Amino acid sequence: MTKTLKRPGGELSSRPLHFIWIVDCSGSMFGEKIGTVNHAIQSTIPEMVDSAQNNPNAQLLVRTLKFSSGASWVTVNPVDIENFTWDDLDAGGVTDLGKAFDMLAAQLTIPPMTDRALPPVLVLLSDGQPTDDYKKSLNKLLKLPWGKKSVRIAISIGQDADDNMLQEFTGNPELVLQANNPQALVKMIKWASTAASQVSAPSSKPLGNKNDNGSSGKLNGEKAATVLDINNIPNASSIGDKDIW
Amino acid sequence: MEGQLKSGAILISESLNKYRVVTLLGAGGQGEVYKVECNGRHYALKWYFKHMATKEQKIILDNLITKGTPDKSFLWPQDLIYNKIEESYGYIMPLRPENFKSIVDMMKRRVEPTFYCLCRAAYNLTSCYQKLHSMGYSYHDISFGNLFFNPENGDVLICDNDNVSANGLDSCSVYGTPRFMAPEIVKGIAKPSRNTDLYSLAVLLFYMFMMGHPLEGKLEANIKCMDIHAMNEIYGYNPVFVYDPINKSNRPVSGYHDNVLIFWDLYPQKLRALFNDSFTTGLASPNKRVTENIWLDILSNLMTGIVRCPACDAEIFLDESKAKVNVAHICWNCNCTVQIPVSIILGKNRVVLTKGAKLFSHHIYSDYNMNTVIGTVVQNPNNPKVWGIRNMSNCNWTYIKSDGIQFAIPIGKSAPIAKDAKINFGQIIGEFNI
């Protein structure tokens, strides 16, 4: 029996979605903190692959930017999530966050960014205070069209992180996720990794969401980041011994 | 993957069944789905996140379990695991067999159904939603993520039925899925209902047939960043159908919407007309949307109107609008002209009588049963040049020749396909159209 001819056409057209891990690798991250970050982000990759395979609307491109004394791209070019691998990061040096923002800004400019995409997702992980003048660089980043449109999440590691700075970055206090112990850090990284699918193909939007005013069914459009379902952010205070993996 | 429940955990249901957690299958916005085992059989368990495990949801589930499934194609809640108020809970449903694939698999071309199986899947899905609506329910979230189909035969499964509730009741917990939500929901002026389901169904069918979105044309191509504001505009505040006959501002753009450009002309005008109605009048007038029975009438004819290109075997859809004005059917693959074989016309149904073609119960009884075969096209074993229809029903038929002479076609016997002849099927008379 001859096999029926395949229907014509190609895949459903999709837009690129750039997802960038921005990791503080300063000296204060040395030891368990950077170890947990390495473990946790690597562990999210299979789930991100799985999620991308079930998402027909986005082509998920991932990369990593690290900063300490200076900043550099760990992943030089955006990589399809299916080909993305996590290279363990080491910690040492100061916290040149401004430099990281400069490098981000250079990549979120058109070109190299394409002029047609989904909002980029930027996830910043930091445990301390920037040691350079980050404000100017952050302003520059947030003035770029793609910077402005990006969905920004920060994970505040430990008690010494500069939450005000992280809030300046996210533009939304609810997207500064507190991770005061390794278990919380793992959960927050896992939650942040779901942002890509939430941004590109938001799943059924539960009613009674914190973002909703209760009378309107429309997708909340006041802040780009609020497309995320913040109800599902793990509650840091509820994380205890039983969450130890 | 780590979930709320550990493998091996034992859960006792309200009907006192003992379920053992086997593995976590996946997670969504409302909760997690596990494979569980009970008395040697496997089931799926949806376990809600705590903030979604509401009293209202429990009431919906109790009702769904009591009323029972509208059709075997629904992975319907059948048992509840509930301890006490304020604690997470979940429900048991049948497990999806692995040969069922998601529509995302089709969108990503990981599965390749034939046009025939695609039509069957579309028909079966529409029929399922019709049954659901006829019980007074609305589904609230018709979209890629909660339905599956067998690419080999077009059988379907519908899951996530825990959002189903009585139409008009304000107890559902979802608005729907962006790109599938009706404009009035996106704009915040309506909540999910049967009529918004009809919109989502039309979007789903358009995706399945055209491999693109009905509102994504030039206006979408012009948008650089597809963020929530842009989505609200395209799918809510300023929706324009890509083939709107009057407003031509949103035509598909080559390079961005190639699939829609390729597929649109492959289908009969009657199908295109339903999409046109759905996304012009139906955009702003929820109660004028195309209803399931209208879709089913067209989809059943689509299924029985496929002919094969004699040169390359591609599936070609008969388009009556072309046949009426003597426009040739051209193969989309090899560009050769395809002759349309004889059809039998049964009321508003037409079955092209190709080798192996089938008549279904629906063709005689108008019961929308496109599974029960009542007749099939066969060759006369004594004269292979003569083709006929075999009576596979439970009743005798009557053959009416052009000169008025009649004779019986008993069950199991066949009668020739001939010019000007008719068959009286009891409920309806079928006429050959040569």
Is B91 touching A (CB cutoff 8 A)? no
A207 has pLDDT over 50: no
Between residues A164 and B51, the one the model is more confident about: A164
SS3 B140: coil
Query: What is d(CA A165, CA A157) in angstroms, rounded to the nearest whole number?
Result: 13
Q: Is B8 left (phi over 0), alpha (psi -120 to 50) or beta?
A: left
Closest CA to B118 of B214, B208, B206, B200: B208
Is B169 touching A (CB cutoff 8 A)? no
Closest CA to A87 of A63, A123, A106: A63
Is B199 touching A (CB cutoff 8 A)? no
Which chain A residues have a beta carbon less than 8 Å from that of B231? 219
**In this structure, are residues B292 and B130 in contact, taking their beta carbons and an 8 Å threshold?**
yes
CB proximity list for B141: less than 8 A, separation 6 or greater: A204, B160, B163, B174, B176, B177, B180, B192, B200
CATH architecture label of A15-238: 3-Layer(aba) Sandwich (3.40)
A239 has pLDDT over 60: no
**In this structure, are residues B349 and B300 in contact, taking their beta carbons and an 8 Å threshold?**
yes
pLDDT score, position A58: 93
Query: What is d(CA B362, CA B403) in angstroms, rounded to the nearest whole number?
Result: 29
Interface contacts A/B by beta carbons within 8 Å: 149
Query: What is d(CA B91, CA B216) in angstroms, rounded to the nearest whole number?
Result: 37
How many CA atoms lie within 13 Å of B111's alpha carbon, on the beta-carbon side? Answer: 22
Between residues B14 and A115, the one the model is more confident about: B14
The string of pLDDT tens digits covering residues B80-90 is 999 877 789 99
Query: What is d(CA B157, CA B85) in angstroms, rounded to the nearest whole number?
Result: 31
Q: Taking CB atoms and an 8 Å limit, are A5 and B314 in contact across chains? A: yes
Which chain A residues have a beta carbon less than 8 Å from that of B212? 12-13
Does ipTM come in above 0.95? no
Q: For every residue of chain A, which 3-state class applies, written as one string?
A: CCCCCCCCCCCCCCEEEEEEEEEECCHHHCCHHHHHHHHHHHHHHHHHHHHHHCCCCEEEEEEEEEEECEEEECCCCCEEHHHCCCCCCCCCCCCCHHHHHHHHHHHCCCCCCCCCECCCEEEEEECCCCCCCHHHHHHHHHHCHHHHHCEEEEEEECCCCCHHHHHHHHCCHHHEEEECCHHHHHHHHHHHHCHHHHHHCCCCCECCCCCCCCCCCCCCCCCHHHHCCHHHCCCHHHCCHHHCC
**CA of A58 vs chain B CAs: smallest distance (Å):** 11
Taking CA–CA distances from B252, the nearest residue in chain A reads: A13
pLDDT score, position A217: 36
Provide the residue ranges of all domains of chain A, joining segments of one domain with +: 15-238
Q: Cα B38–B42–B45 angle (5° rounding)?
A: 85
B79 has pLDDT over 90: yes
Taking CA–CA distances from A213, the nearest residue in chain B reads: B188
Between residues B28 and A140, the one the model is more confident about: A140
Q: Is B123 left (phi over 0), alpha (psi -120 to 50) or beta?
A: alpha
Is B315 touching A (CB cutoff 8 A)? yes
B192: preceding bond cis by omega (within 30 degrees): no
Interval A224-229 mean pLDDT:
52
Taking CA–CA distances from A231, the nearest residue in chain B reads: B51
